[in-house]
């Protein structure tokens, strides 16, 4: 990396947010919104490009990584040649360096030096990674090089397209090029943590987390757009983090120093903490702003449905300083069900918890990945398969052990459609979801009657204070009960078909399959 830095035309180390915003404006990378946020457009790539991600095959990864469409191998000599080409491209260019870290618990922390071609990408890294890391930690220093202006040549560089995200565990290097979408930077570091931490007895998790007044910790697992950021940002509880955490012997700790929230449809009334967090020092990604007033239009998805805001945790009032809390008392699995058949909330036993964690059912929401233009039903094991280098059973086993050891309550929450599938039904009101989650956290659902629905074997509460009883019964929300049964049976078959990929050892629980538990 020293050769890259030594060859830079002008080098900027650890600039402040004000300096980075100034640089980004002078270089024409961003515009200022009326709320003070820097507004960037990412062009062709407005979401992650998972088919362009590679893991370098070496002695360490060869025996550990679950190779396949998620973790595509790249040979060391191919990665080395690509690195040389990127280094040559960066010679003489103005570069920005940020020294940060991932992992608030010092003994499980990795230090990351981020070298970017764009000032706004450096600001993004400064917002999302931890600043002023406490110490060297147990891991070697990693480097992340982000050169969006470099376009790979597939036949020469061994890539699928001009874009690439390469993770090299031997070199402790992440190499990104050909795409301006900043989420690649964030998720590349997350993938590194997911690869390293299990060997240290730490479970990495794709979840939001918050803490109640009594110190009770809640986790919110889910893929992008299912509500992790929104539900974990609760004015009645303290935010630990919105997306990436580790579960160690000491408790839960945040990997990040900021949040990366979807902003499509964002409203001050429903999501005041996120709304107010977007101010000077924040980054708005692909958000349309009024040309004259520069007021962001969060309802406008003309560039992409995957509009984003990146802001530091300190922009959230009451965010938990230090990023470390105790062991969870409650876990929520969030699924944006495009079939419209899952209940707004259901209680899971230990066996079902493992089933739904390994299944990781949700709907990919529009724009999160390239080519996704409307919600698509998908199964993403551990609610984060695109970011898991190791076999999914590694993470599931760690979660199961911790749920049992700490007596954690687990709920499945549908933040998606009710009353019909996507295009027919409607997305459940956020206010109802918040009320259900708060009731579960407060123990208000413990003494209400429950019934088991027939298709998935899920236990559904019949009452919840502040929520109409009719909302709780998914079949009753449909105009045609037989159409509901057909659609629910279709989704149940998809669950069963998907689960077979885990082999004979992954037994489908009776309740999850709709049989008597």
Give the residue numbers annotated as catalytic, written as ranges. Answer: 48, 187, 206, 224, 228-229, 243, 308
Exposure class string for 385-422: b at 16+ Cβ within 10 A, else e: bbbbbbebbbbbebbbebbeeeebbbbbbbbbbbbbbb
Q: Alpha-carbon dihedral of residues 73, 48, 41, 363, nearest 10 degrees?
A: 170
Q: What is the DSSP string of 326-370?
A: --EEEEEEEE--TTS-S-SEEEE-HHHHHHHHHH-EEEEPTTSBT
Q: Across 31-87, where does the E strand assignment appear?
A: 31-32, 38-40, 53-56, 72-74
Residue 109 Ramachandran class (φ > 0 left, ψ -120 to 50 alpha, else beta)? beta
Q: Distance of CA 435 to CAs 69, 120, 302, 439, 468, Å? A: 39, 37, 32, 6, 11
Query: Closest Cα partner for 365 from 298, 311, 304, 297?
Result: 304
Distance CA 366, CA 225 (A): 9
Distance CA 126, CA 114 (A): 9
Task: Using the Cα atoms of residue 264, residue 194, residue 403 and residue 392 in order, give the sign of their dihedral.
Answer: positive
Confirm if 362 and 383 have CB atoms less than 8 A apart. Answer: yes
Distance CA 393, CA 399 (A): 10
Distance CA 275, CA 267 (A): 7
Query: Closest Cα partner for 491 from 445, 455, 461?
Result: 455
Query: Closest Cα partner for 374 from 418, 431, 336, 415?
Result: 336
CA atoms within 13 A on the CB side of 435: 15
Distance CA 497, CA 499 (A): 6
Longest dimension (CA), the chain: 69
- Based on DSSP, count helices (H) and strands (E) in the chain, helices before strands: 14, 30
Pairing of strands 308-312, 345-348: unpaired
Q: Across 365-408, where does the E strand assignment appear?
A: 376-379
Question: Please, which residues bridge with residue 113 across strands?
Answer: 99, 143
Confirm if 368 and 47 have CB atoms less than 8 A apart. Answer: yes
**Nearest 5°: phi and psi at 197?**
-70, -35
Confirm if 229 and 191 have CB atoms less than 8 A apart. Answer: no
């Amino acid at each position: 990396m020293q050769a890259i830095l030594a060859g830079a035309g002008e080098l900027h180390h650890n600039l402040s947010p004000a300096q980075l915003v100034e640089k980004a404006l002078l270089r024409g990378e961003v515009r200022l919104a009326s709320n003070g946020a820097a507004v960037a457009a990412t062009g062709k790539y407005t979401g992650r490009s998972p088919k362009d991600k590679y893991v370098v095959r070496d002695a360490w990864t060869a025996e550990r990584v679950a190779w396949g469409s998620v973790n595509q191998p790249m040979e060391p000599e191919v990665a080395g040649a690509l690195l040389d080409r990127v280094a040559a491209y960066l010679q003489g260019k103005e570069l920005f360096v940020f020294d940060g870290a991932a992992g608030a618990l010092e003994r499980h922390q990795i230090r990351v030096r981020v070298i970017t071609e764009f000032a706004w990408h450096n600001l993004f890294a400064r917002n999302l990674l931890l600043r002023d890391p406490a110490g060297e930690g147990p891991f070697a220093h990693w480097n992340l090089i982000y050169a969006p202006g470099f376009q790979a040549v597939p036949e020469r560089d061994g890539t699928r397209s001009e874009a690439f995200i390469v993770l090299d565990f031997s070199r402790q290097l992440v190499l990104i090029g050909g795409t301006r979408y900043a989420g690649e930077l964030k998720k590349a570091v997350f993938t590194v943590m997911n690869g390293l931490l299990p060997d240290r007895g730490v479970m990495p998790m794709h979840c939001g987390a918050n803490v109640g007044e009594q110190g009770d910790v809640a986790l919110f697992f889910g893929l992008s757009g299912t509500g992790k950021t929104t539900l974990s940002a609760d004015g009645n509880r303290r935010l630990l983090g919105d997306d990436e955490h580790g579960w160690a012997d000491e408790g839960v700790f945040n990997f990040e120093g900021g949040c990366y929230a979807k902003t499509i449809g964002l409203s001050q009334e429903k999501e005041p903490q996120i709304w107010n967090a977007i101010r000077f020092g924040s980054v708005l990604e692909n958000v349309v702003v009024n040309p004259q007033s520069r007021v962001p239009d969060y309802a406008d998805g003309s560039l992409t449905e995957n509009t984003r805001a990146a802001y530091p945790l300190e922009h959230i009032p009451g965010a938990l300083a230090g990023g470390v809390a105790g062991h969870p008392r409650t876990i929520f699995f969030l699924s944006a069900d495009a079939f419209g058949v899952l209940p707004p909330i259901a209680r899971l036993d230990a066996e079902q918890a493992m089933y739904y964690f390994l299944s990781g059912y949700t709907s990919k929401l529009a724009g999160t990945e390239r080519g996704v233009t409307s919600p698509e039903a998908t199964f993403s094991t551990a609610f984060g398969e695109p970011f898991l280098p190791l076999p999914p059973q590694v993470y599931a086993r760690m979660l199961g052990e911790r749920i049992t050891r700490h007596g954690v309550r687990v709920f499945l929450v549908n933040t998606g459609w009710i009353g019909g599938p996507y295009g027919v039904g409607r997305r459940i009101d956020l206010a109802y979801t918040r009320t259900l989650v708060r009731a579960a956290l407060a123990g208000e659902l413990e003494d209400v009657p429950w019934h088991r629905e027939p298709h998935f074997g899920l236990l559904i509460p019949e009452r919840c204070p502040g929520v109409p009883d009719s909302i709780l019964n998914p079949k009753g929300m449909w105009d045609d009960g037989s159409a509901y049964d057909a659609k629910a049976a279709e989704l149940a078959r998809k669950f069963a078909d998907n689960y077979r990929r885990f082999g004979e050892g992954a037994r489908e629980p009776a309740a999850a399959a709709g049989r008597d538990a």
